[in-house]
Chain A
Amino acid sequence: MTRSLSTLVASAVALLLLATLPLWLGNTYYINVASQILYWAVFALGLNVLVGWAGLTSLGHAALFAVSGYTAAILVTAGHSHLVGAVAAIAMTVATAAVFAVLALRATGIGFLMITLALGQILWGIAYRWASLTNGDNGINFKTRPQPFGLDLTSAPAFYYLALLVFLAAVASMLVFVRSPLGAALRGTRDQPRRMTALGYNVWLIRFLAFLLSGFWTAVAGLLFLYYNQFISPQIAALQTSAEALLMVISGGTATILGPIAGAAIVVIMKNVVSAYVERWNMVLGIIFVLIISFMPEGLVPGVRRLIGVAWRGMRPAKAVITVRGEASS
């Protein structure tokens, strides 16, 4: 009871802080960083459905993210409305995710990772080479942010509130999903796929649906990315983006809701800070990756929770078993 009460209080405080953030943060630059954290967090939450709850590590999600952005950018540039662009972008991305899922779910574990990586690289190749459609390496400029219900989103705080609304919707959907029968079944397919099959669950279908849900939030995040940057280029479909998103999930802690959000905040802040001083973001990304994989593979949120737990129990040496969380087997 006290635990749920403290969770409630913490959530209320967090909500209040987030809702008033533009007021006490003031500076446009920081508000923009906050917006970036929010849409990357949506992306990381979407990816976490597969990586965390399904135990399927995808390295092709940047391609889905880019499909969404490109679809909207191409349609709106061709003269369609923002609404058509957004709906088509989400539909197109979920359809692409379905194709990815059909192919990648032939395998689990490492095979799944390889196939999603190859598929992602192929879509990157399309974005890069099919210049008549995507304008190749030059990318596409996206002239205006949409104006839903006549609201002007050009200012930093206005865009922040849009991102916050979408982010809260994503968090709410994750809370519902995790507690839903489908969410429980998905965790079952991660931990005990054979037993789930024996119990009469359609393991393949459950994973397929999880892939679609993951694709949906990736598409939404891709749209926000496009609206925020008003520009999209093949760079965003590259392996680095998939790796960054995966780093957010893993560094924060897979199969938690807070983890990917914390991970997104850490990665975006580090990226902004590092980029301000040196041009070596990829090097830093690689180093953090190696360090986290080697020393804190369970992620920061569970890691910190474990440390707090250890402190709570009077500094008894914890015998923590550290493994990268649940890799599904067939």
Chain B
Amino acid sequence: MNLWLVLAINSITLGGLLFLLSAGFSLIFGLMRIPNLMHGSFFMLGAYMGSTFLAKGFGFWPAALASAASMAVLGGLVERFLLRRLAGQELAQVLLTLGLSFIIADACLMVWTGDPIQPSTPPDLRGAIIRSGLVFPIYRLAIVGVAIAMAIALWLLIDKTRIGAMIRAGVDDAPIARVVGIKVSQLFTLVFCLGAALAAFAGVVGSPYLSIYPGLDAEMLPLALIVVILGGAGSLPGALLGSFIIGFLYNFGQAMFPDLAYVILFVPMVLVLVLRPQGLFGRVAL
């Protein structure tokens, strides 16, 4: 009984992390029509930066925010100076992000070496709550709380603000959005920064639980890809639902069929591709 509960908590935790990672990925995809193959790198580099900020004596949350801010700057630079040059050539843009992801992965290996780093959990969030014989680790619950808070904040941003309306317009029809005077290319930069920051934030928040090691980027990127194929590009509710589906499948799959955990992830993706290629909440097929 307790095993199932632990699995469920792990699943929800991973789902929350995946949402933080894939929300930005989905928005970038929806708006710019490219899967950002650097997204796993933002996650990993963000986590490494967070560990360095922690080692420099920052508190946990300030370190997460500082890391997110630095990734936002990096994302902005990449968008402005590299992706912008290739505007309209989606394939070239994707391959550019792929090349950059190798550079970042190798740079991380140079700076932080290959040894895994596991930052300690923030002191206030250690331990567990015990309710009627069931154990709830506080930090896992905190991750879920942060993810839910972010989801609400993003929903408010996208659905209730002027910027959000502009982003939605850009996702739906970029040329028409341009015609009515929305500066879509500025939105690209903004969304790219936001996505990079969210991924880095997720990296830092997830690091006490996942630990940070070379190859983490390549492990997270396909998860974000699958979430977006499931949920539909550009859709936040889709990213949320997709994240939790993958969170549950990954943890339960690994517990029950450890050899085939990866294949199980692939089942809902296949179903969605065959039955509903635009994703659960998406409007256009990939």
Chain A interfacial positions (CB closer than 8 Å to B):
57, 59, 103, 106-107, 109-111, 113-115, 117-119, 121-122, 125-126, 129-133, 238-240, 243, 246, 250, 280, 282-283, 285-290, 293-294, 297, 323-324, 327
Chain B residues contacting A297 (CB-CB under 8 Å) are: 89, 92
Chain B residues contacting A111 (CB-CB under 8 Å) are: 285-286
Q: Are A117 and B225 in contact (CB under 8 A)?
A: yes
Chain B residues contacting A285 (CB-CB under 8 Å) are: 99, 102
Q: Is B124 an interface residue (CB 8 A)?
A: no
- Interface size for B (C-beta < 8 A) is 48
Q: Tell me which residues from 249 to 286 in chain B have a Cβ below 8 Å from any Cβ of chain A.
A: 258-263, 265-266, 269-270, 273-274, 277, 285-286
User: How far, in whole Å, are A285 and B101 apart by their CA atoms in the complex?
Assistant: 10
Chain B interfacial positions (CB closer than 8 Å to A):
33-35, 37, 82, 85-86, 89-92, 94-96, 98-107, 109-110, 218, 221-222, 225-226, 228-229, 258-263, 265-266, 269-270, 273-274, 277, 285-286
Q: Are A286 and B222 in contact (CB under 8 A)?
A: no
CB closest chain-A residue, reference B217: A239
Chain A residues contacting B229 (CB-CB under 8 Å) are: 114-115, 118
Q: Are A289 and B98 in contact (CB under 8 A)?
A: yes
Task: Give the residue among B90, B106, B270 with the most A Cβ atoms within 10 A.
Answer: B106
User: How far, in whole Å, are A126 and B253 apart by their CA atoms in the complex?
Assistant: 13
Distance (whole angstroms) from the CB of B88 to the closest CB of chain A: 9
Query: B102 touches which one: A126, A131, A243, A324 (CB < 8 A)?
Result: A243
> Known pairs A129-B258, A243-B98, A283-B102. 16 more at Cβ < 8 A?
A57-B95, A103-B270, A107-B285, A107-B286, A115-B286, A118-B266, A239-B98, A283-B110, A285-B102, A286-B101, A286-B105, A287-B99, A290-B82, A293-B86, A293-B95, A327-B90
CB closest chain-A residue, reference B103: A286
The 5 tightest CB contacts between A and B, nearest first, are A111-B286, A125-B262, A289-B99, A286-B102, A286-B103
User: How far, in whole Å, are A282 and B260 apart by their CA atoms in the complex?
Assistant: 29
CB closest chain-B residue, reference A242: B98
Q: Can you identify 18 A-B contacts, CB atoms within 8 angstroms?
A: A106-B274, A110-B33, A118-B222, A121-B222, A122-B263, A126-B260, A126-B262, A133-B259, A239-B98, A283-B110, A285-B102, A286-B105, A289-B99, A290-B96, A294-B96, A297-B92, A323-B89, A323-B92
Q: A111-B285, A283-B102 known; A293 and B96 CB under 8 Å?
A: yes
Q: A118-B229, A286-B102, A287-B99 known; A110 and B285 CB under 8 Å?
A: no
CB closest chain-B residue, reference A123: B262
Q: A287-B99, A293-B96 known; A129 and B262 CB under 8 Å?
A: yes
